[in-house]
Amino acid sequence: MATRPTRPSRPATTSAGSKARERFLNREIQLLAFNRRVLAQAEDATVPVLERLKFLSILSSNLDEFFEIRVAGLKEQLKLNAGSRGPDGFTPRETFRRVAEEVHALVIRQYVLLNDEMFPALAAEGIRFLRRAQWTPKQQAWVKDYFFREMMPVLTPIGLDPAHPFPRVFNKSLNFAVELTGRDAFGRDSQRAIVQAPRVLPRVIKLPPEVAEGENHFIFLTSILHQHVGELFAGMEVLGCYQFRVTRNSDLFVDEEEIKNLRLALQGELPQRHLGDAVRLEVADNCSEEMVQFLSAQFDLDEIDIYRVNGPVNLVRLMSVPDQVARPDLKFPPFVPGLPKPLVKVAKGRDVFDELKKHDILLHHPFESFTPVIEFIQQAARDPQVVAIKQTVYRTGTDSVIMETLIEAAKHGKEVTVVVELMARFDEEANLNWASRLEEVGAHVVYGVVGHKTHAKMALVVRRELDDPEEKSSKARLRRYVHLGTGNYHPRTARLYTDFGLMTANEGICGDVNDIFVQLTGLGKATKLAHVWQAPFTLHAGVLASIENEIRIAKSGKRAHIIAKMNSLLEPQAIEALYRASRAGVKIDLIVRGVCALRPGVPGLSDNIRVRSIVGRFLEHSRIFYFRNGGAGNERVMLSSADWMERNFFRRIELCFPVNDPRLKKRVIAEGLKPYLDDNAQAWEMDGEGGYTRKRPAKGVKVRRIAQEELLKLLSDSSIRA
């Protein structure tokens, strides 16, 4: 049984590119299909209402990045008159037109949902967003005081005339276009002005108890400014005041072939991110047509780039509301991440390194705690036997315990090496700051390889140990310990993203990781790794070889099976290999959270391929690759930082590492794959046209709630496993 499908519009097929379109789906359109699945979470009445509001905000945040990067890239191609077709057979112009059509429809549905369903549902729970007409005299007085006390001192109205040209409008900032009549103190009769709202001002203000008529009543900043905008233009009449917001190209341009110092080049480029070319104009739907045309001309945008919205132009700011509302009954139930049994022993005082000598440790976030990863680094920093710590940093946040620990370790004389990825999109500034602080205390800081983002998540600890501590004559030797992960070293996202982490003292894997660090910090040919697949050298070949192995097994008449879980599937050679495997009789299950360019279930092409997507409480982020490999204990289970995309295979430093311990291998299959394949309540199944249908259990069939809920029950709190 299924619910309403979400399906992209299908374009008219022309002979040019039609063959490609039969095999590959469009990346941008499939990314918007993912965002429709996010919107479906906001539409779902079974989701707690404050969480539905969060999903509505997440959709806006996703669309912001979509315009800043993907649409901006399309517009750059159009400027260059690029007419070449992508793997999907579409030209940039064809893709841009389809994208605009899809996004306009998506945004219309988003605001209808907000106004007609979300606000009433919230109001029914006493959470109200008061319009100006609803303010009581007491509230009006409070608002007036708030305006003069908190807003007026930081607002700078800019009248537009020959001496005051149109101001620079930062990316995604809140602004107001004001229509005026009359003359000011100098006799000027400018008819337009711009008021920019500083970022320090909250966009949603909770009314204090003494004036609110309910516990959770809010007012939008825009409402306050609309009410008192006339105070900024004394003696003039305000004819209209309209909020607007501009999204700009935010992809940093650094010519990696020309630069001599990546850090300096990036520092010079970052300030320009807020002022890139405009790609979208959001404006209140009551804005006069004359003002809309004036604004679009200032930003060199066409009608197709204008989004008229019935509500706040930035719904991302609604994300703050649930944190201000003390109603746990309207949110997802809280949980305490669990610990696997070996780490319970560590928590009771046992040394983590002693545990790792005995066996590998697997962590499944967020169901299991990220704290052991932090403690692994902290213990290494404190341990006098540890001589060196090496770690990669992609996203870690502005406030990171791990980074502070590495700084302390360097201060205390340990050899600390950190590979900082400066080109981690939207985290560049934070990473630059951490790099500076690390260098100040003597840590070795390198910025990876120019032209290849360091996306691998790995930490290496080198410890000087006695072979036998009980023997006086025992000799000391260096021993290595490693943490590898599918996600970032970021404690906050570790509570929101699903990821796996492996801690091991396996000499083969540790040796591979050490070689990769040497490769990143030094110079020389890539060494042959014994256990780990590494992009850009062996990861792509390893994936293709494993698919071909399943094809050989299937052709020999034996059972063959591939399960791959990832964020995105786009790389043409990998997709073609999966098509070949399907035709050979290999059963293929793909769990792709976001963009999938492969067409499943197409007769004669992909009959044996099933694609499903899970969108739920947590962001699915782990990458797991399972190859049956003949079965009977020979299954190959790999965890990775990489999706199956060209950039991950060929333009990044990525790792794909094996889970060798049979117990842990079973755990990855039982926790990371099986629940997602069995889910019959919140999984979305994809068809060959790129449409998605949400699964619902048939009458009489046992409901299996979303896989994430099962894993919370299994792993969180006091659950202890091997």
pLDDT tens per residue across span 626-642: 999 998 889 999 999 99
Is there a single domain that holds both residue 579 and residue 632?
yes
The answer to whether 377 and 384 are in contact (CB under 8 A) is no
Write b or e for each residue in 96-116: b if 16 or more Cβ atoms lie within 10 A of its Cβ, otherwise e: bebbbbbbeebbeebbebbee
Which residue has better confidence, 35 or 717? 35
Is there a single domain that holds both residue 496 and residue 356?
yes
Separation CA 264–CA 147 (nearest Å): 42
| Host H or E run for residue 463 | strand 457-466
Domain carrying residue 220:
125-330
Section 151-172 average pLDDT: 88
- Return the minimum-mean-pLDDT range out of 80-84, 308-312, 698-702: 698-702
Sequence-distant (≥ 6) Cβ neighbours of residue 344 within 8 angstroms: 720
Most distant pair of Cα atoms in the chain: their distance: 96
Is there a single domain that holds both residue 513 and residue 552?
no
Is there a single domain that holds both residue 450 and residue 345?
yes
The answer to whether 19 and 698 are in contact (CB under 8 A) is no
CB atoms within 10 A of CB 149: 9
Q: What are the CA-CA distances from residue 368 to residues 343, 500, 656, 678 (Å)?
A: 11, 9, 21, 21
Q: What angle do CA 616, 575, 58 make, to 5 degrees?
A: 25
Helix (H, G, I), strand (E, B) or coil at 43: helix
- Report the residue count for the chain: 722
Is there a single domain that holds both residue 539 and residue 655?
yes
Helix (H, G, I), strand (E, B) or coil at 101: helix
CATH number, domain of 39, equals 1.20.58.310
Is there a single domain that holds both residue 365 and residue 504?
yes
CATH number, domain of 419, equals 3.30.870.10
- The pLDDT tens digits of the residues spanning 319-342 come to 999 999 999 999 999 999 999 888
Choose among 406, 384, 375, 412: nearest CA to 393. Answer: 406
Residue at a domain's end among 330, 351, 377: 330
pLDDT of 720 above 80: no
Is there a single domain that holds both residue 82 and residue 34?
yes
Residue at a domain's end among 481, 512, 530: 530
- Return the minimum-mean-pLDDT range out of 168-172, 174-178, 270-274, 663-667: 270-274
Is there a single domain that holds both residue 587 and residue 708?
yes
- Reading the block at residue 682, the tokens are 């919140």
Q: How confident is the model at residue 88 (pLDDT cuts 50, 70, 90)?
A: confident
Q: Give a yes or no: residue 8 inside a domain.
A: no
pLDDT of 266 above 50: no
- The pLDDT tens digits of the residues spanning 658-715 come to 999 999 999 999 999 999 999 988 899 999 999 999 988 777 777 666 799 999 999 9
pLDDT at 255: 47
pLDDT at 189: 64
Q: Give a yes or no: residue 722 inside a domain.
A: no
Separation CA 52–CA 38 (nearest Å): 10
Q: Catalytic residue, from 217, 455, 490, 621: name it.
A: 455
Is there a single domain that holds both residue 648 and residue 538?
yes
Residue at a domain's end among 308, 330, 352: 330
pLDDT at 685: 97
pLDDT of 196 above 70: yes
Share of the chain above pLDDT 70, in %: 89
pLDDT of 234 above 90: no
pLDDT of 346 above 80: no
Is there a single domain that holds both residue 420 and residue 457?
yes
Average pLDDT taken over every residue of the chain: 89
Catalytic, 455? Answer yes
Q: What angle do CA 172, 174, 175 make, to 5 degrees?
A: 120
Q: How confident is the model at residue 5 (pLDDT cuts 50, 70, 90)?
A: low
Split into its structural domains, the chain has a count of 4
Q: Give a yes or no: residue 11 inside a domain.
A: no
Q: Give a yes or no: residue 65 inside a domain.
A: yes
Q: Give a yes or no: residue 506 inside a domain.
A: yes
The reply to whether the predicted model has a pTM over 0.75 is: yes
Q: How confident is the model at residue 128 (pLDDT cuts 50, 70, 90)?
A: very high
CATH number, domain of 284, equals 3.30.1840.10
Is there a single domain that holds both residue 187 and residue 320?
yes
- The pLDDT tens digits of the residues spanning 440-482 come to 999 998 887 778 889 999 999 999 988 766 666 667 889 999 9
pLDDT at 160: 86
| Host H or E run for residue 603 | none
Is there a single domain that holds both residue 135 and residue 53?
no
pLDDT at 722: 44
- Return the minimum-mean-pLDDT range out of 37-41, 401-405, 524-528, 640-644: 524-528
